[in-house]
A and B are shown apart, each in its own frame.
Chain A
Amino acid sequence: MEVVGQLQKQYVDFITSLFREAYLDDQYVQLQKLQDDSNPEFVVEVVSIFFEDSEKLLNDLASSLLVSISLFWVFILCLRPSLLLMVVLFFLLFLFQLYSQQQVVDFKKVDGYVHQFKGSSSSVGAQRVKNACVTLRNFCEEKNLDGCSRYLNLVKQEFYLVKNKLETLLRMEQQILQAGGTVPLLEQVPLLWKQ
Chain B
Amino acid sequence: MNLGGLQAVKSMSVPSSSLSRKSGDGVSDQFPAGLRVLVVDDDPICLLILEKMLKKCLYEVTKCNRAELALNYLRENKNGYDIVISDVHMPDMDGFKLLEHVGLEMDLPVIMMSADDGKKVVMKGITHGAVDYLIKPVRIEALKNIWQHVVRKNKDEYKGKDCEQTGSVEDGEQQQKPPEDAEYSSSANEGNWKNSKKRKDEEDEAEERDDTSSLKKPRVVWSVELHQQFVTAVNHLGLDKAVPKKILELMNVPGLTRENVASHLQYRLYLRRLSGVSQHQNGLNNAFMGPTDATFGSMSSFNGIELQALASSGQLPPQSLAIIQAAALGRATNKSPVPVPLVDQRNLFSFESPKLRFGEDSLLNNNSKQINLLHGIPTNMEPKQLATLHQSAQSLGNLNMQLQSQSSQSGSLLTQRPQSQPRTPLLNEINGSHVSTLPSSLGQPIMSQALPSSVLPRNGIENVRGGTFGSVSQPSSALDFSVNHGTEFPGNSFPLMSNSGIPILTSKGMLQEEVKSEMKVPRGYLPNYDTFDELNQNRTQDWGVQTDGSTFDVSQHSNLQGSLDVSPSILVQQGFSSNLKSEQSRNIPVSKATFAVGDSRAGNISNPSQQLNSSPADISQRIKAERLPNMGFQNTFFPEQFGQDDLMSALLKQQEGTGAVESEFGFDGYHLDNLPV
Interface set of A (CB-CB < 8 Å, partner B) = 27, 30-31, 33-34, 38-39, 42, 45-46, 49-50, 53, 112, 115-116, 118-120, 122-125
How far is A112 from B139 in the complex, measured between Cα atoms in Å? 23
Among A42, A45, A119, A122, residue most surrounded by chain B Cβ atoms (within 10 Å): A119
Q: Which of B47-55, B189-197, B355-363, B577-585 participates in binding chain A?
A: B47-55
Q: Within 8 Å CB of A125, what residues of B?
A: 137
A31 with B20: CB separation less than 8 A: no
In the complex, the answer to whether A53 meets B137 with C-beta atoms within 8 Å is no
Are the CB atoms of A34 and B52 closer together than 8 Å?
yes
Contact present for A115 and B89 (CB under 8 Å): yes
Q: Which residue of chain B is the closest to A115 with respect to CB atoms? A: B89
21 contacts between A and B (CB under 8 A): A27-B137, A30-B139, A31-B49, A33-B140, A34-B52, A38-B20, A42-B52, A46-B45, A49-B44, A49-B48, A50-B45, A53-B45, A115-B89, A115-B115, A118-B115, A119-B46, A122-B115, A123-B43, A123-B45, A123-B136, A125-B137
Q: Please name all residues of chain B whose beta carbon is closer than 8 Å to the beta carbon of A30 when the two chains form the complex.
A: 137, 139-140
Q: How far is the CB of A176 from chain B (nearest CB, A)?
A: 22
The verdict on B171 contacting chain A, using a C-beta distance below 8 Å, is no
How many inter-chain contacts with C-beta < 8 Å in the A-B complex?
A: 55
With A27-B137, A30-B137, A38-B20 known as contacts, the answer to whether A119 contacts B43 (CB < 8 A) is: yes
> A124 with B140: in contact, given A34-B56, A42-B52 (CB under 8 Å)?
no
**5 A-B pairs closest in CB distance:** A119-B115, A27-B137, A120-B45, A122-B137, A34-B52
Point out the residues of chain A lying under 8 angstroms from B116, CB to CB: 115
Produce 1/0 per residue, B109-126, CB < 8 A to A.
000001110000000000
- SS class, residues of chain A in contact with chain B: helix
Give every chain A residue within 8 A of B43 (Cβ-Cβ). Answer: 53, 116, 119-120, 123
CA distance A69 to B94 in the complex (A): 31
Q: Other than A50-B45, A116-B42, A119-B136, give 4 A-B pairs with Cβ distance below 8 A.
A: A46-B48, A49-B48, A120-B45, A123-B46
Docked CA distance A96–B415 (Å): 66
Which residues of chain B are within 8 angstroms of A33 by Cβ–Cβ distance?
A: 140
Q: Which of B11-38 contact A (CB under 8 A)?
A: 20
**Within 8 Å CB of B53, what residues of A?**
34
Q: Could you say which of B42, B43, B52, B137 has the most chain A C-beta atoms within 10 Å of its C-beta?
A: B137
Which residues of B are found within 8 Å of A112, using beta-carbon distances? 89, 91
Q: B20's closest neighbor in chain A, by CB?
A: A38
User: Across the interface, do B137 and A46 meet the contact criterion of CB distance under 8 Å?
Assistant: no
Does the CB pair B45–A124 fall under 8 Å?
Answer: yes
Closest to B49 in A: A123
Inside 8 A of B140's CB, which chain A residues have their CB?
Answer: 30, 33-34
* Closest-CB distance, B253 to chain A (whole angstroms): 37
> How many angstroms between the C-alpha atoms of A116 and B91 in the bound complex?
10
Cα(A163)–Cα(B143), bound, Å: 28
Minimum CB distance partner of A124 in chain B: B45
Complex Cα–Cα for A85 and B489 (A)? 82
> Which residues from A are CB-within-8-Å of B114?
119
Q: Which residues of B from 86 to 109 have beta carbons under 8 Å from A?
A: 87, 89, 91
List chain B residues, Cβ under 8 A from A115. 89, 115-116
Check B49 against A34 for contact (C-beta < 8 Å).
Answer: yes
User: What's the minimum C-beta distance from B418 to chain A, rounded to whole angstroms?
Assistant: 56
A66 to B49, CA, bound (A): 33
Taking CB as reference atom, which chain B residue is nearest A112?
B89
Residues of B near A45 (CB, < 8 A) are 48
A118–B114 CA distance with the chains assembled, in angstroms? 10
